[in-house]
A and B are shown apart, each in its own frame.
Chain A
Amino acid sequence: MIHALFVINRSGGLIYSKDFSGQVAQLSSNEALIFAGTFHGIHALASRVSPALKGRAATRDRGVQYIDTKGLRLHCFQTPTGLKFIAVTDPLHAGLTDVLAKAYKLYCDYALKNPFYSLEMPIRSDLFDTMLRQLVQAS
């Protein structure tokens, strides 16, 4: 079950956050921004300190992919353009890469092809909301 979903742009700004289950603590908008910035930093650091850094591109470290705690698991999916899709699920939830990749596709369709969306800015699109909710419910 996906509790919440965040989208972070390539400079570490939060551009989308949505709570789907109501079971996780609500972050204030300020806290959510701090979370996004911190995660962005940790992600960058993790891929920098990795011993696999010198390897070929295919084996190169892709930064943080999960964060596990007792109560939740954080999944991160990074797109080739540096966007991050982060999902909060129950602990030890199986891989979510395909669901997050679908969320990326929705972003490409309903944010990028929407004339009222400006790049790197928060996503405010009813259609994106609806489609994402459908995706989360179906997964």
Chain B
Amino acid sequence: MSQAESLMRLDTRVSRRSNMLLEQGIGKPRRDKVCLGAFAFLFAEIIRYSQNRVLGIQDLEAKLGEIGRRVGVRVFELLMWREKTVHRETRVLQTLVFINTVVWRALFDKQADALGRSTENDDEYMITDNEPSILRYISAPKEMSSFSPGAFLAGVVEAIAECCECPARVTSHLVPAEDMPLKTVILLKFDREVMEREKRLEAGK
């Protein structure tokens, strides 16, 4: 076998292998999983990188949120393309259910654990995840106890809410519970216009 031939053979082998993973179409829902360990290292490095470039905890959360937003916009487009049964939601509740189920299942292979409305304010909704897998290994030191690594998730949710024409201010809060040290609540506070529109739609029904 000539050298060129053997190189060719090597080449097809490589491309066949990449066919399996990298060159897969985006249309079909991927059932193969991403290694959590690899992602954890990447995410830890993102946090560490951001931490060196901010002044305080709020700043860090904002930065993580910004990174999350970039992810969220892409995830939204991808899901709209991929999921044949869902369509673009415009109502608040449907948007929330979409995030709670479709988005969470695509990202974490499970539904979020709870979806609730704030008892104090009508425009505030909460999505609860008892154990967000991407935060599993993160444990902030005592002097940063107010830091919520879920800010990244909040960014993802914020971008998706915005894409659904339901812009909201999204924050994440660490609410440690018994046996669930990483229980995270994502709080969505919808803009005033959204709630007004919601009322109009409700009345016009």
Query: Residues of A with Cβ closer than 8 Å to B?
Result: 109-110, 112-116, 124-128, 130
Contact = CB atoms under 8 A, between A and B. Distances in A.
Contacts of B37: 109, 113
Contacts of A125: 139
B181 A115 contact: no
Interface string B8-49: 000000000000000000000000000001001101111110
> Helix, strand, loop or mixed for chain B's interface?
helix
Given A126-B181, A127-B181, A115 B141 contact: no
Given A115-B44, A127-B181, A109 B140 contact: no
A128 B45 CA distance: 19
B contact residues, range: 10 to 19
B66 to A, nearest CB: 17
A112 B37 CA distance: 10
26 contacts: A109-B37, A109-B40, A109-B137, A110-B137, A110-B139, A113-B37, A113-B44, A113-B138, A114-B44, A114-B137, A114-B139, A115-B43, A115-B45, A115-B46, A115-B48, A115-B51, A115-B138, A116-B138, A116-B139, A124-B142, A126-B139, A127-B137, A127-B138, A127-B139, A127-B181, A130-B181
